Structures are given as C-alpha cells and as structure tokens.
Amino acid sequence: MLTPMRSTWAAAASLLLLAGCGGGGGGGSTPIVTGPPANPVWTPGHYDPPATFAAHCALPRSGVDPYLGTAYPDRAGSTAWENHWIRAWSQAYYLWYRELPDLDPAAYSTTAAYFKLLKTPAVTAAGTAKDHFHFTYSTAAWESFVTSGVQLGYGATWAFIAVAPPRELVVAYTEPNSPAANAGLLRGDSVLQIDGIDLVHANDQPSIDRLNAALSPSSSGASHTFTVVDALGGNQRTVTLAAANVTSTPVQNVKTLTIPNGIVGYLTFNDHIQTAEGLFRSAVQQLGTAQVTDLVLDMRYNGGGLLSVASEVGYMIAGQAQTNGRTFELIQFNDKYPNTDPITGAALAPTPFYSSVNGSTLPSLNLSRVFVLTSNDTCSASESVINGLRGVGVTVVQIGSQTCGKPYGFYPEDNCGTTYFSIQFKGVNALGFGDYTDGFVPQNATAQNGGVPLPGCSVADDFGHALGDPAEARLAAALSYIQSGSCPSPSGLGAPGTVSMQAHVMKPVWLMNRILRRPR
C-alpha cells in the first residue's frame, strides 16, 4: 500500500564548526553551534533542485517521527529557506509550472503567504479558478486522519445552505457514537445560535470569528452550546458539544430496497480514506449476498481522498469481466516527465482496477450500471470513480447536482512539519478522457455552468429525510429512474445563497482531493 510521501534528501553541511583553542600545549578543538546558515540568494529564472533547500526549518522538529519511526530530517534554517524549497519544489513538479510567478522567497514572512501565490492564475471555460485545490496542512494531523480516520471535532458534518445573513446551517450527517450523535443531533437539524451568538444574522467580525472557532474546534474538550431546531417536529432545544477525537465511519447506511424491478442496494460513501477499504468490502459482500440488481452509491458528500481506494471501489462495482487488464486511471505529469513518475522514479503505468488488497481478492457486484448521488461537494477521487467506470463501459446515472470538477491530484509532501498539496498530475480514464474541469452534470441541467452531461436527474438535496430513506428526494429519484427511466422536474438550480441551492458541507480540505501515496 502506498504511504504519505516524506523528504529523504541528504543533509546539508553540519552546523557544528571547529574552532582552535589559543595557547600552546594541551590545545584541542571545541564544537561551537553557530546557528542557522545564511539565507539562500534568489536568482530570478534560476531554479536549484528542491533537495538543496529541504528540511532547513525555522522551527525544526526533534525526536522520532511517530508515523515513519525514523528521526526527523529537520535542521536549523529559516522561513526564507522553507520558501526557497517551496519555489524549487513547485517549479519541479507543479502541473502548470510554466504559469507560476517567480517571486522572491525572502520577501514573505510566512510559508503560507508564499505558497498561496505559487499557483496558476488561469480560469476554466466557466470562469472558475483552474486551480482552487492548493493548500497546506499540519503533517501530524494529515497523517493521523488519512491512516486512522481520526480527527478532532464533534462528529457532525455541517452543511451551509446560505453562508451570508440570513444564514442557514444544518446537520448533513453524524458519525456513529460521536458527541453529536450522542447529543441526538440528526440530519436536517438547523443551528440558530452558538454560545448565545445569533448564527443566522451575526454580521460583526468578532461574532463571526467566535462562530467559526466553535464550528471548527482546535482543542480536545473544548465545549460549546448550540441552539438547534429539530428537523423532526420543529422543536427548539439546546445541546452542549465537547470536541473529541472522532473516528470517521466512511461507509454507512448499507441496505437493500425492494422495488418491482428487483432488489436495489444502497450505501452512503463519505470519504476515500484507508479505513473505507474494509467497510466497502463488507458492504459489497452484504449486497452481493442479497443479489442486488442495481446499486445506488451515495457520494454527495464525498470530496475524495486516496486514488487507490477509488480504484478498489470501481472494481467492486464492475467486477473482473469488465475491468480485467483495463485502466482505471492514467496519471499525466507536467511535460518534464512524459514517461516517468517524478516522485517515485518509476516508469509511468496506468492505475488498474485493483482486484485485491494485501493478497486478498475483493468481492464484486458485477454491475454494468450504477446510480451515483452527487453534489458540488462530490470531488476528485469520487469523480475518478465516475470517470473510471465510464471508461470501461459501465453506465453511470447521475442523480443530484453538478460535481466539483477536479481531474487533478498530487503527492502530499512534508517539509518542516507542514504537508503541502500542490497539483502535480491530471488523470484520464481508459478512453483517454479527463476533461471535466467543470464537473459532471445530470443531462437535464446542462445549462448549469458547462460540465460533462451524464444520464440522470437534477435533484436538490433533501434535509428533511435521513440518508438512505427511500423517501429522500435523491434516492427516491434514483429508484423512480430504475423503474421508469424518467426524471422528476429539475430542482436545486436556484441562485447561490437561496434555500434551493445545493448546500456546501464543511470538511477538511484534504478530503476534497485525489491523493497518491508512495512506498515508505
């Protein structure tokens, strides 16, 4: 299995210099710590290899990396050293490196400010930024979540239906046995106040800052009071939530639904993280035993994650006959590396449909058609599932709203305790197709901002019913389509900020991407 990438470049010169002692006889040498080396010199248009600047840190880590079990490579440096590394690394590996500005690394006092500027300014045909997936994260937090599914919070995924006053914030779903679930919060419950602050109408910056801090707690045990209106019954009540390390359950609500046409399988799939492998395998075994004739894969809140997991999901849907020897996705780097993966050094080869994990064969449903529930939070690795299946002839019927449009991905790279995520490759399917920068869109909503049209129906998100409830609007539309082949009238196409507009969920930015990992 591939693992998060780490710098392995050799150390630069030692920081210990030898100085001779004065006087004669009995003389010796005493090591003297001289401090960080002088900052590198910026020469416009000239780029040294990233290894020249790697691990020269303003705040070096010490001790052993708990993830890799090896000593941190960090040594004394400065923000300027770290910025020089960002510049060199971006120029070497960024997909659109020719479109990067060449900025003096020493002119920026933080790595965050400098990194933010090292991306293309170009836009898509629909006018959105070509690269709006450029970010950093704490290395420790990234590694913890992607391997174990543990992150700090309440276990509630919040959805903003309107972000400006009058705001509307609801619960999209909760994690089992989390503080939110134990407090009785359910999908569709709406938040009126937090710690006595009016969330709906607050308009001053101090209140907004306090609201944001409460919605995204930064320390375990941090406690906040929420005034909510229950989706069921409309009762107003107050709950107190204390932040904790919550383990994500990325596959939920696995069930079968019997309709006149046959037996339909349904599952909610929220994140392409490592722990999803076993859960998705168990779900497919359960649905296979039930002999489902169709599958509704609910990825409306799945922003992406590991490409390897996406490939496994594709195999478990389509099966051996349709995928054997076929490409799930071929990644393409910038033109400096037409035939080689620049990160691993391996020759470029297609990512297949993975049919086994650690020597154990995966189960499959052997379906030639799948119904996918989507939103504009369906992104990256989730779009890879759609595109990869279409590439081998599986019909994908899209129910919901337009996806985010991200055929790109990266290898996360750690330097000095920060993991950088910068677009390094584009993915194409077995047919060579990967041009969906404005997303996939149900065919009866093709007037919405371009997008690649797929068979299916535009249906607004329905927070009045639980995920997996056959009466929930998107699932109901999928079940109806299976029986009749027709759609309800398009919905969810309102102007931004209106109740009919698709909500946006609050998720860590790393969960909205396509991520490759290399061997340790």
Q: Which two tokens stand for residue 75?
A: 């040594």
Is the residue at 355 inside a domain?
Answer: yes
- Indicate which CATH number applies to the domain containing 486: 3.90.226.10
Query: What are the angstrom distances between the C-alpha of 310 and each of 61, 369, 401?
Result: 34, 17, 20
The predicted structure's pLDDT at residue 22: 33
Q: Tell me, yes or no, whether 430 and 347 share the same domain.
A: yes
295 with 367, same domain: the answer is yes
90 lies in the same domain as 165: no
Residue 464 resides in a domain = yes
Region 210-239: what's the mean pLDDT?
94
Residue 364 has pLDDT above 60, yes or no: yes
Structural domain includes residue 512: no
In what side-by-side order are the strands of the sheet with 135-138? 135-138, 418-421, 413-415
CA distances 271 to 248, 266, 307, Å, are: 9, 16, 11
Task: Give yes or no for residue 11 having a pLDDT over 50.
Answer: no
Q: Which of 86, 10, 93 is nearest to 342 (CA)?
A: 93
pLDDT tens sequence across 51-63:
999 999 999 999 9
Using N-to-C axis directions, what is the helix angle for 276-289 and 307-318, rounded to 10°? 10
157 and 118 within one domain: no
427 and 310 share one domain: yes
Check whether residue 122 and residue 270 sit in a common domain.
no
Residue 334: per-residue pLDDT: 97
Q: With cut-offs at 50, 70 and 90, classify the pLDDT of residue 506.
A: confident
| pLDDT score, position 17 | 22
pLDDT exceeds 50 at position 10 = no
What is the band of 123 on the pLDDT scale with cuts at 50, 70, 90? Answer: confident
* Residue at 1 is within a domain: no
Q: What is the pLDDT of residues 183-209, one digit of tens each?
A: 999 999 999 999 999 999 999 999 999
Q: pLDDT of 141-184, one tens digit each?
A: 877 766 676 788 999 999 999 888 999 999 999 999 999 999 99
Do residue 366 and residue 419 come from a single domain? Answer: yes
- pLDDT for 125 beyond 90: no
Q: For position 447, what pLDDT does the model report? A: 53
**pLDDT at residue number 371:** 98
Residue 253 CA to residue 33 CA, distance in Å, equals: 59
262 lies in some domain: yes
218 pLDDT band (50/70/90 cuts)? confident
Determine, yes or no, domain membership for 144: no
Q: Report if residue 10 sits inside a domain.
A: no
What does the pLDDT read at residue 126? Answer: 74
Flag whether pLDDT at 41 surpasses 60: yes
Mean pLDDT of the chain: 87
Assess whether 231 and 267 both reside in one domain: no
Residue that terminates a domain, selected from 78, 93, 127: 127
Find all residues with CB under 8 Å of 98, minimum gap 6, and list them: none
- According to DSSP, the residues that pair with 351 across neighbouring strands are 329
For residue 170, the enclosing domain spans 150-247
pLDDT greater than 60 at residue 34? no
**Cα–chain-centroid distance for residue 67?**
20
The residue assigned the tokens 């400098």 is: 114
pLDDT of residue 266: 98
> Pick from 213, 247, 281: which residue ends a domain?
247
Mark whether 83 and 53 lie in a shared domain. Answer: yes
- For the record, the structure tokens of 130 come out as 């070509």
Which distant-in-sequence residues (6+ apart) come within 8 Å of 188 by Cβ? 170, 171, 231, 232, 463, 464, 465
The span from the CA of 468 to the CA of 454, in Å, is 23
- Spatial separation of the C-alpha atoms in residues 312 and 162, rounded to whole Å: 35
pLDDT in tens, 408-426: 988 889 999 999 999 999 9
pLDDT in tens, 282-334: 999 999 999 999 999 999 999 988 899 999 999 999 999 999 999 999 999 99
Q: Is 497 left (phi over 0), alpha (psi -120 to 50) or beta?
A: left
pLDDT band at 508 (very low <50, low <70, confident <90, very high): low
Q: How would you classify the pairing of strands 452-454 and 244-247?
A: unpaired
User: For residues 125 and 94, which has the higher predicted lDDT (pLDDT)?
Assistant: 94
Q: What is the CATH number of the domain that holds 200?
A: 2.30.42.10
Provide the domain count of the chain.
Answer: 3
What percentage of the chain carries pLDDT values higher than 90? 73
Whether 82 contacts 58, CB under 8 Å: yes
Q: Are residues 188 and 157 part of one domain?
A: yes
Higher-scoring residue by pLDDT: 10, 459: 459
At 509 the pLDDT is 62
Establish if 170 belongs to a structural domain. yes
pLDDT at position 520 over 70: no
Contact present, 279 and 249 (Cβ < 8 Å): yes
Whether 373 has a pLDDT exceeding 80, the answer reads: yes
223 shares a domain with 114: no
Rounded Cα–Cα distance for residues 424 and 515 (Å): 10
d(CA 25, CA 18): 18
Q: What is the pLDDT of residue 503?
A: 78
Tell me: do 274 and 332 sit in the same domain.
yes
